[in-house]
């Protein structure tokens, strides 16, 4: 199997540095990193790209070297990077490209280093620059673009996003309605590179980009990685459905302290994510319960996340009962293996000729594109069937 | 649709009086009791027996009238029985038959009123008495026997239980290896009445009784109703499997205060239930995590139950994370609707000609007979398919 | 001991109807209601007014009879009022006076029934009406006024509130800066009736009213009853101080469904309460931890309240550790006994000649007037000493 | 101020290696370790021994070097000892003396390395050997002995322990009723060295040793460090007392994975600790609530400890309410600073001429010797008064 180049938007962020450092250590130490779906036999037998054959690069807007960022991001010192100088060299050798800040909102612009971000004045030049960078990075290898950048402010869908033609015209006109995540997605799909949106930002979900993916026969998937509270929610909600118990209240408080949390402390950016988290419940239950989701930024949490959910439900003859759960996750370590799974799987999809939205990848996302299915087990059954189908086709073609 | 006679073993217990009072009130007030799977369209269209067409009766060993017991059992006063004299009359009109105490162990024998339990000296006479009572109660109607009695001490399987012939011989010899739940199950199946075991006691699971069910073409199902901690466990465990997260510890503390808890405070009776609760995890995960389950009787809990579970798991690159949940259930109100579902469904199965263990009913049980499938969602998919199959057959035959 | 007339502002609210119904039932059934500090020997020996010697009356702005309101307020049916017709008669015989809505903000005005609230056009007439009502209600008995009304919007302190003279001038000028709770407190103190503010509203805390209390030699106390999350906080915070553990984060989510919660769902009213809850922590710890308090109105909670607190702290050599607690309270049942304690105690204080703010009553309040002491145990020691002092004086004078 | 020699029984255990490593790093890095009561001004002004003036040594029965043990004990890698070679040298230079296994029970004997434990045949020789070692270690400096060894099996008090004379006779007779912790305590007190018992073992609590401490005018204190669940319990219980709320149930599950947990997994050793934890509640509340305490050893917890407590209580008019708390502690890091406080304080007490049980040190212990006071705040007030008294005396004498 040939090499896979993974181009990460938000290369210096927590998920990215944890995932890259973890893979580099695993390959060096010849151990499995764990927590990979694609290591399970039903997926592995499809011929997944090997971890040692993955190469990383990406875009970022911050002035900090990869190693320093990686140490800061792993606040719990799980990877013990401070005493791993071999990793220092490898991390700092990874190609970093200047990122886009144009139209990205105040919270994100505040993070940007002047020399670290693209300063093109026209949007079309910016896009062309990004496309050239991608083409160059890809070379003749397999390649995937993944969006791991901070959540953008909510984009209001309009005519601009409705067709590829209007979208391309808007780029030429330097439209304010086009945010960085749209430009990256456009550039990737234009270059026929599979694209994964792991963030709550709009990414490739707009009609114009779905159209482009179809035209160019490229697979894409998203959005918003399902790593914590929502993961539990989509496993637990089925219980209430199956027992025909009426959920009255589902309240969730999420406390986090990393960059993701800091950006979400800005209410414009948070609304994107809260919507993503809330709509899940209705889709799982089939009705609207009284539900609230809070995202609280409290710096001392670092990369740790605590979510507390309170569920009040009504059973037989009106009996009121409760369930609470508390989830203590380390966000980047939950997200990293999902990203690896996704790049392996979408690369495989591309090689098998799948294109457009791959809705079988819903199991990885809080707001899965192309489907309303949110039940975790049923999502898993879908991707398992997808894997079995490709395996069987291959066997038949062999 | 004709009447259904439901014969409950443990008629004066919490689950029984809550379920009967709840159904009587719902029918009178013309409201749905809620929390019934069989009210969902996919089941309901199969022609379920109507709640107003169910009649109750049963066995018990205690000296207390039904109404008094019902008030005590509903310690949270959810049904407001104390001011419902109409229900008093209806409850006290329900036929109560003397129960068996022979070989039931000290904890249970201590509950028995002398005049309220069968005092036959030979086991065969006892069985014949039970059979006569059942025949009489059933008359020409549909009938189902449900075991809701307190958990018995663990029965050690031996030759005695291995074939129908040896079992019947052992009855004639007044064997110490035959406990009341076995006698009731035997009597029911002998009378060709479908049998449901909602308790952790052995019930109809022994080879001899499985043989009898096949010979007599009667359906049976069990065992141990899945109402609380285990219900959550079988919904949540899939999450760890699907994310390939390694569960290191799964600890569960269950605190309860009703008669069920009191009997389980006797370690011989508890071991039956703890085994039932623990083996579930291994079946869900596919490997043995370090797991403990505690059942604690603390009287002031009354009918309320609190379960706290602590789960420690390992993710990407060895990162340790945790999840806790707390379940605040009212045991009898969680169990009652499951029992109604089961009697409706097994009566349907019987009328459709299904016999032997109905393993599609696994969704209701902690230790489902006839299958190792413990994942809640997948169990539900099985029973849904079973319902669809019967509906389609019916449509084709029509 | 003579009678005590208790005049409640917010007579039809949850705390009020629970407390009156509970006392009436306790007196009738000759049982102690429980949860009263004043039943402990150290207080009781001071000669507390007996429960049977308390008579109730009060102000409200809503169009509903007392019994109906009492049933609605006790959503958990703890007092079983629906089948207690004796209580119905007693509740509906309690004198209800028309309340003030002038300057009370939109959230509260929305509750008012037209015929149930005072419609005087001038503020001075309103005050005189209230004073007359109080004088009349009191007669020649002991009397106490207690504020249990919904939380008002925050009052910004200004010149108007700084002296009694300016305050009385402002009343004459129908000032917008004078809200109902200020008028009630003024009326009570003017009539030399002890006044207790159990709500987060400003009440008698403004300098003008403190001055009036001193001039008229009346005792008053407040504010904001300490019933749930803050109660726990002021018991637990000492632990971190005593172990010299550094609290980094203290986050609290409070979910409630009663009228109190509904009013607090209005952000202007909530800010008053959140401030009250937050400032406590700094006073307990002696430094500013990163702290947030959320109050969430979710209707299905009814009178139940769940608070979840997440505490992150640093110990020896930077070790990070956590504590979580969950509090499941029934708000009105936690508040009611405190109100009874307070009316008994302030009546005693008045009879003993104590006047001005009684800061020894801090143990009952989230924002104790007259002191910065928030540690629960130390507050208790203060009131205990106060009781011992009065007991000793009495003994000496005897 | 002169040097302080601290002799630790159980030198290679978690608490010991965490405390020594932490102090060595703090002194070297010139930072405060944090979490020390004795760093608060009210204590510090008494002239505490400086951290850099403390020297360590001690007894152990295991075959492992200090540094290796220290790394294993700090499973969360908080101190990052693996890359701190300076500490390696310092730890391995600490004098380790052979420990006693005689009469220590199977669970503990199983830990002993043959060459690492004293093999004297007679008890009197063993004692003399220990005394010689202590005398030698102390030299002309201040010295304190602290028991941090694994919990012993419960010792049944008998005549043997009732007077010093009988105890010394029993030593000569190699009595089976004398366990290692008694011998160490005896040796220390005999050498006039202050003794602290931080474990649930009996230590210096027997009448014979209290007599010896009085005769020799040595201070001693104990027992069982209050670090986690019990710490919270003694802060929270006051809340229920102060609000006159009736505690019906207080259930506590403690899950831990270190050596302490492993030893406690042996029921004989656990009973000592569970008794210590349970009796606290009655002393705090003044009555017997239905209480259970579970200690569960689950290896993957390593040095982390989770305690979950469920409290059910009754308030006004019988209203049932609940509180739960979860404590996520790192045991050794909670214990270590208490041990440092204790050695500093008992050394001070000794220098000031205090002798016998110092009951003012109760704030540090689950089962404080010499007092029934368990309320955390009140215990703190006692030690604060003790410090103020000594400070005042000093000022007066100056």
Give residue B277's pLDDT.
72
Question: How far B237 CA lies from chain D's nearest CA (Å)?
Answer: 18
Q: Which of C153, C14, C114 is nearest to C72 (CA)?
A: C14
Q: Within chain C, which residues score under 70 in pLDDT?
A: 1, 276
pLDDT of B109 reads 75
Tell me the C-alpha distance between D160 and B66, whole Å.
60
Give residue-wise pLDDT tens across range B194-226.
999 999 999 999 999 999 999 999 999 999 999
Min mean pLDDT across A6-10, A114-118, D160-164, D246-250 is at A114-118
Q: Which of D153, D196, D180 is nearest to D335 (CA)?
A: D196
CA–CA distance, B71 with B302 (Å, rounded to integer): 12
Other beta carbons less than 10 A from residue C397's beta carbon? 6
CA distance C33 to chain A (A): 26
Pairwise CB contact (< 8 Å): C253 & A255: no
**C252 vs C250: CA distance, rounded Å:** 7
Helix, strand, coil shares of chain A, percent, nearest 5, are 50, 20, 30
The two three-digit tokens of residue B154, written as one number: 């663990």
Write the pLDDT tens digit of every residue in C217-228.
999 999 999 999
For the residues of B67-126, what is the DSSP string, one character each? HHHHHHH-TT-SS-GGG-HHHHHHHHTS-EEEB--TT--HHHHTT--GGGB---SSHHHH
Nearest to D288 by CA among D248, D256, D260, D316: D248
**Nearest 5°: phi and psi at C314?**
-115, 130
Please report, to the nearest 10 degrees, the dihedral formed by the alpha carbons of residues C27, C29, C31, C34 taken in order: -70
> Closest residue of B to D306, CA-based?
B310
β-pairing, A356-357 with D54-60?
Answer: unpaired
Structure tokens at C373: 């002491």
DSSP state of D50: P
Instruction: Provide the number of CB pairs (under 8 Å) joining chain A to chain D.
Output: 9
**How far is Cα of residue D51 from the mean position of the Cα atoms in its chain?**
19
**Cβ-based contacts of C326 with chain B (< 8 Å):** 326
D contact residues 83-102, partner A, Cβ 8 Å cutoff: 83
Q: Is the dihedral of CA A61, A62, A67, A73 positive or negative?
A: negative
Q: Is the pLDDT of residue D1 over 70?
A: no
Interface B-D, measured as beta-carbon pairs within 8 A, has a size of 52
Question: Which of A71, A75, A80, A301 is the best substitution to test chain D (most D C-beta atoms within 10 A)?
Answer: A80
* Spacing of C-alpha A149 from chain mean position: 9
Of D292, D294, D326, the CB nearest to B324: D326
Q: Is A45 on the interface with D (CB under 8 A)?
A: no
Beta bridge partners of A291: A250
Most B-contacting residue of D246, D249, D322 (CB-CB within 10 A), to test interface: D249
What are the tens digits of pLDDT across the range D362-388? 999 999 999 999 999 999 999 999 999
Q: What count of residues does chain D have?
A: 398
- What pLDDT band is residue B227 in, cutting at 50, 70 and 90? very high
Q: Which residues of A touch B24 (CB under 8 A)?
A: none
Chain A: closest CA distance from residue D304 (Å): 14
Neighbours of D314 (CB within 10 A): 17
End-to-end CA distance of chain A: 17
Tokens of B185: 């199950």
Q: What is the pLDDT of residues B116-162, one digit of tens each?
A: 778 778 999 999 999 999 999 999 999 999 999 998 888 889 999 99
At C335 the three-state DSSP class reads helix
Q: Which of C18, C22, C376 sits opposite D242 (nearest CB)?
A: C376
pLDDT of B398 > 90? The answer is no
Residue-averaged pLDDT of chain C: 93
pLDDT tens, position by position, C105-133: 777 777 777 777 787 789 999 999 999 99
Q: Which of residues 241-280 of C touch B (CB under 8 A)?
A: none
Cβ–Cβ of B255/D251 closer than 8 Å? yes
Among B253, B295, B311, B325, most D C-beta atoms within 10 A, so best to mutate, is: B253
Q: Using DSSP, state whether A95 is helix, strand or coil.
A: coil
The Cα of B265 is separated from the nearest Cα of chain A by a number of Å equal to 24
CA dist A161 and A185 (Å) reads: 13
| Nearest to D365, CA basis, from D247, D164, D227, D212 | D227
Residue D14 predicted with pLDDT over 80:
yes
Q: Does C378 touch chain D (CB under 8 A)?
A: yes
For residue C281, give both structure tokens: 């922590």
Among B304, C261, D320, which Cα is nearest to A249's?
C261
> What does residue D268 show for φ and ψ, rounded to 5 degrees?
-65, -40
Residue B180: which pLDDT band, with cuts at 50, 70 and 90?
Answer: very high
Helix and strand numbers, DSSP H then E, in chain A = 14, 11
Largest distance between two CA atoms of chain C: 66
Q: Is D136 exposed, middle or buried (0-12, 13-18, 19+ CB in 10 A)?
A: exposed
Identify the residue whose tokens are 């950016």.
A269
Cβ neighbours of residue A96 closer than 8 Å, sequence gap 6 or more: A11, A12, A57, A58, A59, A60, A66
Q: Do C242 and D22 touch (CB under 8 A)?
A: no
Low-confidence ranges of chain A (pLDDT < 50): none
pLDDT of the residue at D167:
97
> Omega before B223 cis (within 30°)?
yes
* Chain A residues near residue D326 by CB distance under 8 angstroms: 326
Residue of D nearest to C339 (CA): D316
Structure tokens at A395: 């066997």
Contact D147, D17 (CB under 8 A): no
Beta B142-147 vs B4-9: how paired, if at all? parallel
- Residues of D numbered 314-333 whose beta carbons fall under 8 angstroms of chain A's beta carbons: which are they? 326
Cβ-contact A147, A10 below 8 angstroms? yes
Angstrom distances, CA of residue D353 to CA of A30, D193, D356, D380:
63, 13, 10, 22
Chains that touch A (3 or more CB pairs under 8 A): B, C, D
Q: What is the mean pLDDT of residues B13-32?
A: 97
Residue A296 touches chain C, beta carbons under 8 Å: yes
Higher pLDDT, B240 or D107: B240
Strands D96-98 and D142-147, sheet pairing? unpaired
Q: Which of residues 67-86 of B touch C (CB under 8 A)?
A: 77, 80, 82-83
- Chain centroid offset of residue B27 CA: 23
Edge-to-edge strand list for the sheet holding B4-9: B96-98, B54-60, B4-9, B142-147, B195-197, B219-222, B356-357
Quick: pLDDT tens for B323-352. Answer: 999 999 999 999 999 999 999 999 999 999
Question: Which residues on chain C are in Cβ contact (under 8 Å) with A255?
Answer: 249, 251, 310
Rounded to whole angstroms, the Cα distance separating D348 from D390 reads: 10
């Amino acid at each position: 199997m040939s090499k896979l180049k993974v181009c990460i938007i938000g290369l210096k962020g927590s998920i990215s540095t944890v995932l890259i450092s973890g893979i580099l250590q695993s390959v060096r130490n010849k151990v499995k990193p764990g927590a990979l779906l694609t290591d399970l036999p039903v997926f592995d037998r499809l011929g997944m790209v090997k971890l040692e054959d993955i190469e990383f690069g990406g875009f970022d807007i911050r002035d900090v070297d990869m190693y320093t960022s990686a140490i800061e991001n792993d606040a719990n010192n799980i990877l013990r990077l401070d005493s791993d100088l071999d990793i220092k060299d490898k991390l700092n050798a990874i190609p970093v490209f200047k990122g886009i800040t144009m139209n990205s909102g105040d919270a994100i612009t505040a993070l940007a280093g002047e020399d670290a971000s693209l300063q093109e004045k026209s949007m079309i030049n910016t896009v062309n620059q990004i496309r050239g960078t991608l083409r160059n990075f890809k070379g003749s290898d397999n390649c995937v673009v993944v969006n791991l950048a901070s959540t953008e402010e909510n984009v209001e869908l309009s005519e601009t996003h409705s067709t590829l033609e209007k979208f391309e015209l808007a780029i030429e006109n330097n439209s304010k309605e086009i945010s960085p995540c749209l430009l990256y997605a456009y550039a990737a799909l234009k270059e026929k590179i599979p694209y994964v949106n792991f963030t709550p930002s709009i990414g490739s979900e707009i009609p114009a980009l779905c159209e482009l993916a179809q035209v160019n026969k490229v697979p894409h998937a998203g959005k918003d990685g399902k790593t914590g509270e929502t993961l539990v929610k989509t496993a637990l909600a089925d219980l209430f459905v199956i027992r025909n118990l009426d959920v009255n209240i589902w309240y969730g408080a999420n406390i986090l302290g990393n960059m993701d949390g800091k950006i979400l402390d800005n209410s414009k950016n948070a609304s994107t994510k809260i919507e993503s988290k809330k709509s899940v419940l209705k889709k799982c239950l089939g009705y609207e319960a009284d539900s609230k989701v809070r995202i609280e930024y409290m710096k001392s949490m670092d990369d740790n996340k605590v979510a507390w959910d309170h569920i009040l439900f009504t059973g037989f003859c009106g009996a009121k009962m409760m369930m609470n759960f508390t989830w203590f996750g380390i966000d980047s370590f939950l997200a990293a293996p999902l990203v690896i799974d996704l790049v392996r799987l979408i690369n495989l999809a591309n090689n098998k000729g799948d294109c457009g939205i791959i809705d079988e990848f819903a199991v990885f996302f809080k707001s899965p594109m192309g489907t309303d299915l949110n039940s975790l087990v049923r999502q898993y059954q879908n991707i398992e069937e997808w894997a079995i189908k490709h395996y069987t086709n291959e066997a038949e073609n062999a």
